[in-house]
């Protein structure tokens, strides 16, 4: 039981082993039969002999069939195999008179039983022929079925059937009356061979180089088969020995030799006819391969440079060029990339030459340029005669050209042109894809950066406004998509005194956000050390000299509210004016001052002013950034300071929250069809001098909203 299991595991090996053993066994029986029993006089023994030979040959054939099926089939290798075996047979036949004759005469002269020796020689010789025939026939069978589209086994099996009939009928040839039977079967076999040999379909699938070697091989092999056929038909020792061994084996040999001669003659002519179209066929096959490869690349490749390299690499092969490059459009002309077989100096010269002479007609199709026509071609590579260019497009815009150059006199033909068109379309697609991907990566990175900037800004701005008995404060901040650099803050100095700042950092994004953070730190500490707004701004400017980039600056207004003295002191460094709404009049408080970071010398200090305002009841102080006054509508008109002041005046009786809500509502309405480009900041402070308890209640009732709105 266990042995059987083991046998099953090695199924394939065992099967062929078993067949090999069967063959060896049959061969041994055949040999013994011939030595001890066989007699050519008895018709029964002759028939039994033929049967043994047939069965042995069949078992050898099936054994070899198993072996060959383990390998992948290569038609050229099969042809080579047939050739080698055929050559061996050829040598054997040529020297059969010498070798076999010598051996037989030696056997006859020896003292040992020469009948046994003769038998041995003829047996080994016949076995060799059998092996060769089985192998060759098997190879023919594989060639026949290789790359066959239709089921053609019936034709082949019919042929085998007639082979066997012809072989067996050779027994009848002893009587001349019945010889016609053998001849008839033989002729039918030959006809079937002819029919079957015409179906050679695998030729088309091999490349040109292989076709040429096949042409040479097939003519040699067909000649060999013819020679061998003549040898086996003539009366020599070989024929005598093989006929003595088995007449049908001899006939089978003749049939196979005929088959070979016919098959390889036809193969020769078929190949010959295929050669002229071989190149075109190869090219189409190559094109298909490249396009397949390319469509795979489109979905995989991210790197633009790598892609460009592949494009030029394949373009040379598809269009049979000598050199290739991509002329990529840049702001200041074309730049060569991914050069193949050509230097950048030469390729740039050629590109410039093409476009200077307007040889490339900005068309959507590829075009061929003959440089020969231009006698004035200056300093161009002497070797190059023809150029073919095809546009590479993305978003319907020509991004560059794929240029292929030919060094010799062979012109680009229509085929090259077509191939180039197809190819450049694919290349355009691939390039567009990779560009889009790259863009989206950059965009994503920028968006991440902006997220960080917004987060910084959000953390820097005050979470809530300070609360005082006589002062109501309301603030609104709306960040732009790209962080605009607006900043406002309050700093408590004493119980009755606090500082406030509103600032706008130049630029946008993360760099603006970092400067904002710095400004916060500077003012936070300066507000505790110095009292006068002017001094604080001067010190702040001094500190910023060390860190601020030349092209960056900060507009700021800083003020101090003294609630006890009822005084507000304001200094302005280039910022929008501070608005004072009093008695239904809007006053622009605009003490002179240069923006922080614009000047670090005496001009900044000398020009900086400071104003002091004695607060009246219901005074409203408005701090804002240009995000409000420069908010734009669809016609790109500004919201404007007049519009802004009017809203403030119209609502001056309302609470601070109501005022800021009204302003924001108007700004939003005004710019609803346009995106917000800059941060918007609005801080409103309202002074209630004659504070009483009712007043406070009145405020709270009328202003139920949150004190700080950060949208």
Partner 1 sequence: MAEFSTSVKDAGDVNIIYLKGYLDAHTAPVLENTFSNLVDNGRYSLVVNFKELSYISSAGLGVFMAFIEKIRENKGDIKLSAMNDKVFNIFDLLGFPLLYEIYKEENEAVSKFSQIKKLENGK
Among residues 148, 233, 599, 633, the one that binds partner 1 under rule CB under 8 A: 599
Find the shortest distance in angstroms from Cβ 684 to partner 1: 20
Q: How far is the CB of 447 from partner 1 (least distance, A)?
A: 16
Which residue among 551, 669, 693, 704 contacts partner 1 (CB under 8 A)? 551
75 touches partner 1 (CB under 8 A): no
Q: Choose between 292 and 592: whose C-beta lies nearer to partner 1.
A: 592
Determine the interface stretch with partner 1 among 28-36, 202-210, 368-376, 587-595 (rule: CB under 8 A).
587-595
Should residue 454 be labelled a site residue for partner 1 when binding is judged by CB under 8 A?
no
Which of 92, 56, 103 lies closest to 239, judged by CA?
Answer: 92
Strands (E), 495-532: 497-505
Q: Which is nearer to partner 1, 231 or 534 (CB)?
A: 534
Determine the length of the chain. 711
| 677 binds partner 1, rule: CB under 8 A | yes
Q: How far apart are CA 68 and CA 625, in angstroms?
A: 88
By CB under 8 A, which span of 14-22, 424-432, 590-598, 701-709 interacts with partner 1?
Answer: 590-598
Pick from 263, 579, 595, 613: which binds partner 1 (CB under 8 A)?
A: 595
Q: Which of 83, 247, 485, 533 binds partner 1 (CB under 8 A)?
A: 485
| Residue 571 in contact with partner 1, rule: CB under 8 A | no
Q: Does 610 bind partner 1 (CB under 8 A)?
A: no
> Three-state SS for 327?
strand
644 counts as binding partner 1 under rule CB under 8 A: no
Residue 553 interacts with partner 1 (CB under 8 A): yes or no: yes
Q: Closest separation between CB of residue 575 and partner 1, Å?
A: 7
- Does position 189 interact with partner 1 (CB under 8 A)? The reply is no
Got the DSSP string for 240-278? HHHHHH-HHHHHHHHHHHHHHHHHHHHHHHHHHHHHHHH
For residue 614, the minimal CB distance to partner 1 (Å) is 25
Asked whether 616 and 659 are in contact (CB, 8 A), the reply is no
Cα separation, 303 vs 307, in Å, equals: 6
Asked if 449 contacts 482 with a C-beta cutoff of 8 angstroms, the reply is no
Q: In whole angstroms, how close is the CB of 661 to partner 1 at the nearest point?
A: 27
Q: Which stretch binds partner 1 (CB under 8 A): 51-59, 269-277, 363-371, 596-604?
A: 596-604
Buried b / exposed e along 316-350 (16+ C-beta atoms within 10 A): bebbbbbbbbbbbeeeeebbbbbbbebeeebbbbb
CB-based contact 44:33 (threshold 8 Å): no
Nearest-angstrom CA–CA distance, 272 and 253 = 28
Cβ–Cβ < 8 Å for 413, 452: no
Segment contacting partner 1 by CB under 8 A, of 66-74, 135-143, 194-202, 548-556? 548-556
Among 274, 283, 393, 508, which residue sits at the site for partner 1 (rule: CB under 8 A)? Answer: 508
Q: Does 711 bind partner 1 (CB under 8 A)?
A: no
Tell me the site size for partner 1, rule CB under 8 A.
32
The smaller minimum CB distance to partner 1, of residues 122 and 555, is found at: 555
What is the C-alpha radius of gyration for the chain, rounded to an integer number of angstroms? 50
**How far is Cα 522 from Cα 536, in angstroms, rounded to an integer?**
9
Burial class (CB in 10 A: 0-12, 13-18, 19+), 147: middle
Joined tokens for residue 237? 């020792």
In angstroms, rounded to a whole number, what is the distance separating the alpha carbons of residues 452 and 450?
Answer: 5
Output 175 or 675, the one with its CB closest to partner 1: 675
Local structure of 647: helix, strand or coil: helix
Phi, psi of 566 (to 5 degrees): 55, 45
User: Can residue 607 be called a binding residue for partner 1 (CB under 8 A)?
Assistant: yes
Q: Is 8 in the site for partner 1 (CB under 8 A)?
A: no
Residues near partner 1 (CB under 8 A) are 482, 485, 504-508, 550-553, 555, 573-577, 592-595, 597-599, 603, 607, 626, 630, 636, 638, 677-678
């Amino acid at each position: 039981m266990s042995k059987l299991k083991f046998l099953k595991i090695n199924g394939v090996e065992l099967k062929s082993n078993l067949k090999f053993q069967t063959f060896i066994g049959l061969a041994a029986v055949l040999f013994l039969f011939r030595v001890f029993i066989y007699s050519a006089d008895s018709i029964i023994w002759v028939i039994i002999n033929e049967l043994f030979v047939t069965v042995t040959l069949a078992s050898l054939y099936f054994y070899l069939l198993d072996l060959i099926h383990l390998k992948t089939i290569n038609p050229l290798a099969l042809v080579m195999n047939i050739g080698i075996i055929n050559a061996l047979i050829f040598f054997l036949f040529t020297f059969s008179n010498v070798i076999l004759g010598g051996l037989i005469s030696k056997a006859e002269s020896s003292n040992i039983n020469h009948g046994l020796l003769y038998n041995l020689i003829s047996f080994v010789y016949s076995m060799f022929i059998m092996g060769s025939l089985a192998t060759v026939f098997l190879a023919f069978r594989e060639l026949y079925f290789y790359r066959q589209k239709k089921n053609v086994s019936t034709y082949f099996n019919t042929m085998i059937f007639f082979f066997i009939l012809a072989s067996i009928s050779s027994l009848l040839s002893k009587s001349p009356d019945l010889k016609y039977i053998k001849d008839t079967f033989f002729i039918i076999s030959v006809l079937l061979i002819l029919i079957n040999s015409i179906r050679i379909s695998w030729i088309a699938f091999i490349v040109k180089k292989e076709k040429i070697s096949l042409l040479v091989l097939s003519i040699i092999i067909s000649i060999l088969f013819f020679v061998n056929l003549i040898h086996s038909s003539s009366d020599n020792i070989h024929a005598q020995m093989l006929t003595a061994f088995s007449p049908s084996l001899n006939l089978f040999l003749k049939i196979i030799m005929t088959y070979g001669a016919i098959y390889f003659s036809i193969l020769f002519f078929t190949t010959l006819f295929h050669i002229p179209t071989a190149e075109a066929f190869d090219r189409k096959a190559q094109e298909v391969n490249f396009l397949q490869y390319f469509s795979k690349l489109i979905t995989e490749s991210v790197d633009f440079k790598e892609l460009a390299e592949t494009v030029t690499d394949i373009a040379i092969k598809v269009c049979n060029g000598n050199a290739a490059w991509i002329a990529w459009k840049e702001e200041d002309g074309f730049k060569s990339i991914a050069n193949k077989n050509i230097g950048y100096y030469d390729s740039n010269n050629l590109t410039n030459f093409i476009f200077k002479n307007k040889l490339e007609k900005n068309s959507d199709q590829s075009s061929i340029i003959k440089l020969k026509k231009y006698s004035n071609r200056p300093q161009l590579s002497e070797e190059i005669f023809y150029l073919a260019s095809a546009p590479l497009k993305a978003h319907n815009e020509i991004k560059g050209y794929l240029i292929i150059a030919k060094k010799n006199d062979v012109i680009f033909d229509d085929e090259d042109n077509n191939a180039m068109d197809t190819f450049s379309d694919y290349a355009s697609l691939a390039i567009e894809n990779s560009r889009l991907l790259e863009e989206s990566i950059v965009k994503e990175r920028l968006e991440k950066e902006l997220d960080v900037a917004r987060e910084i800004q959000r953390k820097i701005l005050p979470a809530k406004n300070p609360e005082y008995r006589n002062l109501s404060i309301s603030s609104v901040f709306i960040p732009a998509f790209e962080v605009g650099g607006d900043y406002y803050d309050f700093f408590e100095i004493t119980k009755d005194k606090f500082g406030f700042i509103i600032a706008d950092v130049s630029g946008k994004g993360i760099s603006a956000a970092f400067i904002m953070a710095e400004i916060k730190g500077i003012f936070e500490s300066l507000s505790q050390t110095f009292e006068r707004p002017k001094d604080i701004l001067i010190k702040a400017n001094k500190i910023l000299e060390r860190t601020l980039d030349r092209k960056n600056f900060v507009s700021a207004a800083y003020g101090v509210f003294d609630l006890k003295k009822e005084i507000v002191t304001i200094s302005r460094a280039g910022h929008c004016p501070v608005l004072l709404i009093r008695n239904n009049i809007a006053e622009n408080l605009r003490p002179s001052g240069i923006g922080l970071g614009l000047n670090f010398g005496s001009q900044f200090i000398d020009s900086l002013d400071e104003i002091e305002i004695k607060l009246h009841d219901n005074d409203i102080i408005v701090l804002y950034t240009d995000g409000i006054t420069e908010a734009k509508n669809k016609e790109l008109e500004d919201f404007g300071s007049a519009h802004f002041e009017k809203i403030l005046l119209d609502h001056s009786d309302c609470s601070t929250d109501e005022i800021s809500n009204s302003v924001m509502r108007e700004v939003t309405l005004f710019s609803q069809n346009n995106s917000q480009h800059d941060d918007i900041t609005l801080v409103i402070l309202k002074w209630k001098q004659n504070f009483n308890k009712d007043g406070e209640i009145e405020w709270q009732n009328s202003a139920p909203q949150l004190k700080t709105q950060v949208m």
